[in-house]
Structure 1
Amino acid sequence: MALKIFFPICCSSAESGLLVGRWIPEQNCAVILAVAHFPFIPGQVKQYLGEVRHATGVEVSVLGSWTCSKPTEEGKSLDRFLEDLGAIFSHDPWIQLSKEPSSKFWSCAAARRRPGGGEGGETILVYYDQRKTMLSRLHPPRGPEAGEAASPRDLEVEDASELVAVFDTVSRSKVLFVKDRYDEGPVKLTHWQSDGVEASIIVELMKQASVPACLLLTCLLSLVSRLCQSRALTFWPLSFIWSKLSTCQQLRHRLQHLQDVSSTRKAPDQAQLMRKANIFVSVLLDVTLGILLMSWLYRKNRIGHLANALIPMADHVAQQLQDLLQWLMGVPAGLKMNRALDQVLGRFFLYHIHLWISYIHLMSPFIEMILWYVGLSACLGLTVALSILSDIIALLTFHIYCFYVYGARLYCMKIYGLSSLWRLFRGKKWNVLRQRVDSCSYDLDQLFIGTLLFTILLFLLPTTALYYLVFTLLRLLVVIVQGLTHLLVDLINSLPLYSILLRLCRPYRLASGVKLRVLEQEAGKPLRLLMQINPLNYGAVVQTYRLPTYSCYPKDSWGSLCKKLFVGELIYPWKHKGEKQD
């Protein structure tokens, strides 16, 4: 097996010293993390690396020597001194890397030194960007990318465990990267943060400043959560209403998000940290869009214009429904309907429209005030405003929902009655205990009554089916409008905006794998490769970091939905009580 050495690019300009890193015997590879340069005392280096191992759990040790000196007498003596350090640290194999001024690229020569004095086998030197590897998170490869054949200019890493071990070693070595060559101490290191740690200091100061704000927000949210869970809101009428209103569902969802974001507990892994960042950006964007909507509504008295236009709009819809019912009570599309049943159903629905218009005109003095307070709720987020809009649509179209329920129940009763009587003609019956159709013998009176009822239901079915069809189409139109609103709410709730922005601005942070590019390949010299990070594609980013959300629409298949529509079963635009939320 070839010896693979992962060497950071940032250490190419380091002074001569010791190579500090981790040896992975399973893959026969060494991951160089830093260069400890002079002056140093070997005992103090061992003590410091022991502290790093205890703090990180990474088996960090001295793997070899790094020589970056000119070909002078002083440089040669330094090279001999570094070779002699192999007896002190006694790592097998002892890796020696040296600067090659004659090479076309900045490169190093690698050699293995065994106790017997023999040289090692083939050596592969892989240069990697330590900063990108440290900040990136590796995702397992998917699809045909993992099995693509390697080419001389674009080599895919086939051993995923080795790649995971390299990324894991660099990411877990944060303690080692705290000390650099400018610190006063017995050990001076060169690594990716040696030229700039100011940004890290600023981030730490911001983290310390956010702790009191998070504590205050956590206390407020816990108080609100206790008020929402009080016994007064758990009784039947209120609990049923809260479970069906989209606004309450969205507020509960956002309350959980704010509790997760304001929690002072440290995220256990990178996935939870990314989830908190996605939630924070989602809430921030939601509130920003809500404030923009609120400012637009209160500018130029748009609330008053909307309230003044609401009553004429309701009257216009009611008039259109009355015209539709008058058309159904006549000869719709030339169809001959049952006159008595047609008149009864038409007058019944006209009376409901009259009640609804009376209710709307009774509420007209309070509509502007209601809309004014509803507009204020947009400061809680655009999703809250859209949820309130969905609930308002549901309330304003409640009469259409009633028409749909009446028509569906009547149509469903006739469909099930006709199916039961059809089994009677075939000498069958439905066995309730066994849940199947069994044979049965009927006498003459039962067949006569069954024939009479079947004839009545069959001739009344076209009139009922027409009313059911019309009001089902109206109901589906309302459900489609509410469904589009809920889809927009779910999109804002679940879209991982932070991960998408991270993929757009810093694609190396989300890695799906690496690409190895050949830098130099000469006979008698180690193969030199450059490791480049392949970013995760946008579809995989959305699929991996998509936030869980609730759904207010049924999850039936198209076949099941068409079956329910055909037999007259009700279609509810909310989740059923027994279903589990996401």
Structure 2
Amino acid sequence: MVLKVFFPSCCSSADSGILVGHWLPQQSSAVVLAVLHFPFIPVQVRKYLSEVQRATQVGVCVLGSWTNSKQEKEESLRQFLADLGTLFSHELWLQISKEGDSKFWSCSALQRRCSRPREEEVILVYYEQREVMLSQLHPPLRPAAPGRQGAAQACQLAAVFDTVARSKVLFMTDRYDEGPIRLTHWQSEGVEASIVVELLKQASGPACLLLTCLLSLVSWICRSRVLNLWPLCFVWSKLSACEQLGHRLQHLQLLSSSRKAQTQPQLMRKANIFVSLLLDVALGLLLMSWLYRKNRIGHLADTLIPVADHVAEELQELLQWLMGAPAGLKMNRALDQVLGRFFLYHIHLWISYIHLLSPFIEMILWYVALSACLGLTVALCILSDILALLTFHIYCFYVYGARLYRLKVCGLASLWRLFRGKKWNVLRQRVDSCSYDLDQLFIGTLLFTILLFLLPTTALYYLVFTLLRLLVVIVQGLLHLLVDLINSLPLYSLLLRLCRSYRLAAASPWGCSPALPACPCLSSQINPLSYGSVVQTYRLPTYSCYPKDSWASLCKKLFLGELIYPWKHKGEKQD
């Protein structure tokens, strides 16, 4: 049997003593947690280890002896340490010794409960105790098949990480503490602490309490009956800014709650939300300062009306071109004139609506820029809503054209089934055979001919306004993608991966390299998660979801005249 001994590198220069750790019999390995030094009393050592076991639920015990001949050159000490195995009885007794400053080590494991004591083969694995203690081991996104070597190594690593993480109480004793026990581990020089962190912890209590009261007041106002009336609740549900504000309100309630994070993923989620909020507000303040500087809002308001007039003129020229002979196509004159004048009247109404709002545009933009202090995402959502309102006429054109086109396509499909002696069974949702008389076939032929010759005119208007609608939708989609990126990107996890990569450990075998020539020894390093795995593991949920339509399904909907939206909100059905 080959025994793996995980030895902390911080103990390589420790004075001679006994090894304290935990046995992992299922993995045929042992984890050394600390070195206990002289002088000590065995009864007090057993009492201390039993207290640590009750506090950590880890079977901490004495694993063996550690000899550093640099500090102790007497041969009697080595023999004394070897004889300690009779006091701290165990099936295996480790004996690890170091020869001065050289790299020659001696490592052995002695079977004491056998009739003839024998030595087991030992592989010594160095590990950085501080990194293992502070890191979080992540399971693989695609678990390995059971029975494979990778799965066994991942299980062994998980056991080692869990043992070190649960032994936090053992690491709270440093060499400056007055007591009968003196240990060497990664915090022997003193427990790590930060004055800034402690001050922030003390100040976070009152701040969270005040923020909770304010959020409770805001939530009560949002749940009031006045805001839940039908017109208002319908409008709030369709505005992206209201959805984003509600999303951020949930984040603030989560951060200000008195309930502490119980697991590492919950703690990372809170940290990612906090950093996302800080970045969002910082970018919003930068945008607000840029807009208010040099009267940029006034210049933007002055250029908005001419741009709207220019867009209206271009649309009117486009409709005049469609009402003629576009690209030399022969159109139905009567239907072409009716559709053209109908859409021209809508453009006239839209221009009147814009000029009616022109005196208030600068004030509206001023308040929109002020809303950027709530975050860049709120400003982008308001910009998306303003774009939707300014291009509402294009949306109406698209809906009119799509409904009219779909009506003719469905009529042609139904009349085509009439010619073949078929009909659509609404109850059974299938096509059944049917016999028609002569009058029905005659009327169907007339209607089919009329719809077929009117279809090119309607299809042309539908094609043009669909392209215009898609242009607006692409701009809105880019804004929503940027908002979702800020909402869902785990910035804190990415910064942690960049600055302290060992904190996010992957459940894959450690990168090991030969360290010592005297015995089978390996020096281990933690393999961090890749950036893609960090994003996939800690990605924050967002309030919008995207349809999973394929390109073939999208082209089919466009061909049949179904309304297409690039995104939809959760709980809503797509038309």
Category of TM-score, reference length = shorter chain? over 0.9
Which range is displaced more, 451-460 or 206-215? 206-215
**TM-score relative to the length of structure 2:** 0.94
After TM superposition, give the deviation of residue 114 of structure 1 in Å: 1.1
Contact in 1 for aligned 2:94/2:109 (Cα 8 Å): yes
Equivalent in the alignment of 2:109: 111
Which range is displaced more, 384-393 or 135-144? 135-144
Deviation string 1:414-449 (CA, Å, 9 cap, x unpaired) is 000000000000000000010000000000000000
- Alpha-carbon distance between aligned partners in 2 of 1:485 and 1:15, rounded to the nearest angstrom: 62
Deviation string 1:371-429 (CA, Å, 9 cap, x unpaired) is 11110111111111111110010000000000111111111100000000000000000
Contact in 2 for aligned 1:157/1:163 (Cα 8 Å): no
| Alignment partner of 1:30 is 2:24 | no
Which range is displaced more, 419-428 or 41-50? 41-50
Amino acid at match of 2:402: A
| Alignment partner of 1:312 is 2:306 | yes
Amino acid at match of 1:101: G
Contact in 1 for aligned 2:22/2:59 (Cα 8 Å): yes
- Alpha-carbon distance between aligned partners in 2 of 1:21 and 1:205, rounded to the nearest angstrom: 35
Equivalent in the alignment of 1:463: 457
After TM superposition, give the deviation of residue 323 of structure 1 in Å: 0.8
| Alignment partner of 1:517 is 2:503 | no
Equivalent in the alignment of 2:406: 412
Which range is displaced more, 44-53 or 421-430? 44-53
| Alignment partner of 1:546 is 2:545 | no
1:561 to 537, 554, 559: 554
Deviation string 1:279-302 (CA, Å, 9 cap, x unpaired) is 111111111111100000000011
Equivalent in the alignment of 2:471: 477
Secondary structure class of the residue paired with 2:120: coil
Contact in 2 for aligned 1:100/1:109 (Cα 8 Å): no
Which range is displaced more, 186-195 or 459-468? 186-195
Secondary structure class of the residue paired with 1:3: strand
Equivalent in the alignment of 2:165: 171
Equivalent in the alignment of 1:94: 93
Which range is displaced more, 192-201 or 504-513? 192-201
C-alpha spacing 1:96/1:333, structure 2 compared with 1 (3 Å): same
User: How big is the alpha-carbon RMSD for the aligned residues of Structure 1 and Structure 2?
Assistant: 2.3
C-alpha spacing 1:308/1:468, structure 2 compared with 1 (3 Å): same
After TM superposition, give the deviation of residue 222 of structure 1 in Å: 2.5
Equivalent in the alignment of 1:136: 135
Which range is displaced more, 445-454 or 89-98? 89-98
Equivalent in the alignment of 1:153: none
After TM superposition, give the deviation of residue 71 of structure 1 in Å: 8.6
After TM superposition, give the deviation of residue 224 of structure 1 in Å: 1.6
C-alpha spacing 1:71/1:368, structure 2 compared with 1 (3 Å): closer
Equivalent in the alignment of 1:43: 43
Which range is displaced more, 233-242 or 307-316? 233-242
Equivalent in the alignment of 2:318: 324
Matched pairs, number: 570
Contact in 1 for aligned 2:16/2:71 (Cα 8 Å): no
Secondary structure class of the residue paired with 1:571: coil
After TM superposition, give the deviation of residue 455 of structure 1 in Å: 0.6
After TM superposition, give the deviation of residue 115 of structure 1 in Å: 3.2
Contact in 2 for aligned 1:218/1:259 (Cα 8 Å): yes
- Alpha-carbon distance between aligned partners in 2 of 1:515 and 1:157, rounded to the nearest angstrom: 16
C-alpha spacing 1:467/1:373, structure 2 compared with 1 (3 Å): same
Amino acid at match of 1:348: F
Secondary structure class of the residue paired with 1:197: coil
* Structure 1 unaligned residues grouped into runs of 5+: 151-155
After TM superposition, give the deviation of residue 146 of structure 1 in Å: 10
- Alpha-carbon distance between aligned partners in 1 of 2:455 and 2:71, rounded to the nearest angstrom: 103
Equivalent in the alignment of 2:8: 8
- Alpha-carbon distance between aligned partners in 1 of 2:69 and 2:111, rounded to the nearest angstrom: 21
Contact in 2 for aligned 1:157/1:515 (Cα 8 Å): no
Q: Percent identity?
A: 76
Contact in 2 for aligned 1:157/1:516 (Cα 8 Å): no
Contact in 2 for aligned 1:507/1:535 (Cα 8 Å): yes
- Alpha-carbon distance between aligned partners in 1 of 2:171 and 2:267, rounded to the nearest angstrom: 21
**TM-score relative to the length of structure 1:** 0.93
Which range is displaced more, 135-144 or 282-291? 135-144
* Structure 2 unaligned residues grouped into runs of 5+: none
- Alpha-carbon distance between aligned partners in 2 of 1:175 and 1:200, rounded to the nearest angstrom: 19
C-alpha spacing 1:72/1:337, structure 2 compared with 1 (3 Å): closer
- Alpha-carbon distance between aligned partners in 2 of 1:160 and 1:285, rounded to the nearest angstrom: 36
